[in-house]
Amino acid sequence: MIKRVLILFAAFSLLGCAYKSTNEIMNSWMGSHISQVIQSWGPPNQITEDGAGGKIYIWQPEPIPLPPEPSIRPGTNTREVAQDRYYASLKRLKIMAHNNRYKMFYVRPNGIIYHWRAQ
């Protein structure tokens, strides 16, 4: 039994090490040239001025279309309809959250990343 617990603990520890948070990923690019990010991630969706002579590079995921609202099927009871609508609304909220995510790098005129934002 103890052996199984130790094996599970080791497996979860390794998985934890393999996962990087958004903060870790974004911080790892600080001080790098923006061309390295573009080489790794592909071209940004948008580039805008930062107001200080530099630029802001913005990456957003491809939007996922929202599913239609569930319709009431003949012969369904009120509980089933409410349940269908509840799960559909959860799915719609997850998709809207996905569609609103972005990653932004603030870049000096020399191409060096000095700040980032992500949602």
Using the predicted structure, report yes or no on whether residue 69 has a pLDDT greater than 90: no
Provide the whole-model pTM. 0.60
Phi, psi for residue 105 in degrees, rounded to 5: -115, 130
pLDDT digits (tens, 9 = 90+) for 79-92: 776 777 777 777 77
CB 26 within 8 A of CB 37: no
- Total structural domains in the chain? 1
HEC-encoded secondary structure of 44-76: CCEEEECCCCCEEEEECCCCCCCCCCCCCCCCC
pLDDT band at 7 (very low <50, low <70, confident <90, very high): low
What's the average model confidence in pLDDT over 46-60?
93
More confident site: 108 or 86: 108
CA 43, CA 116: separation in Å to the nearest integer? 16
- 21: number of CA atoms within 13 Å, CB side? 4
Q: What is the pLDDT of residue 101?
A: 80
**What are the C-alpha distances in Å from 93 to residues 10, 22, 101?**
35, 21, 13
More confident site: 12 or 98: 98
Angle formed at CA 39 by CA 36 and CA 45, multiple of 5 degrees: 105
Q: What is the pLDDT of residue 91?
A: 73
Domain span including residue 23: 2-118
